[in-house]
Structure 1
Amino acid sequence: MKTYKYGIIYINSTFNNTISTLTDLFGNTLGWYSSGVVGFKGPKKSTSLASQTISEKISLLAINKNIKIVDIYIKGVSIGKDLILRIINNCGIFIRSITDVTSLPHNGCRKKKIRRV
Structure 2
Amino acid sequence: MKNFKKFGCIYLTSTFNNTISTLTTLKGKTISWLSSGVLGYKGAKKSTSLASQIISEKISKIAIINKIKIVDIYLKGIGFGKEIVLRIINNSGIFIRSITDITPIPHNGCRNKKKRRV
What is the TM-score of this pair, normalised by structure 1? 0.93
Q: How many residues align?
A: 116
CA distance in 2, matches of 1:76, 1:7: 21
Partner of 2:21: 20
Q: Amino acid of the residue matched to residue 25 of structure 1?
A: L
Q: Kindly state the Cα deviation for residue 114 of structure 1 after the two structures are TM-superposed.
A: 3.9
Question: Secondary structure of the equivalent of 2:58?
Answer: helix
Q: Does residue 45 of structure 2 align to residue 44 of structure 1?
A: yes
1:3-82 to 2 correspondence within 5 Å? 4-82=5-83
Partner of 1:104: 105
CA distance in 1, matches of 2:20, 2:75: 10
Q: Does residue 92 of structure 2 align to residue 91 of structure 1?
A: yes
Consecutive unaligned residues of structure 1, counting only runs of 5 or more, are: none
Question: Secondary structure of the equivalent of 2:5?
Answer: coil
Question: Secondary structure of the equivalent of 1:43?
Answer: helix
Consecutive unaligned residues of structure 2, counting only runs of 5 or more, are: none
Q: CA RMSD in A?
A: 1.6
Deviates more, 1:3-12 or 1:33-42: 3-12
CA distance in 2, matches of 1:35, 1:69: 24
Q: Does residue 102 of structure 2 align to residue 113 of structure 1?
A: no
Question: Secondary structure of the equivalent of 2:31?
Answer: strand
What is the TM-score of this pair, normalised by structure 2? 0.92
Q: Amino acid of the residue matched to residue 47 of structure 1?
A: T
Q: Amino acid of the residue matched to residue 17 of structure 1?
A: N
CA distance in 2, matches of 1:49, 1:110: 39
Q: Kindly state the Cα deviation for residue 113 of structure 1 after the two structures are TM-superposed.
A: 3.0
Percent identity between the two aligned chains: 71
CA distance in 2, matches of 1:96, 1:42: 34
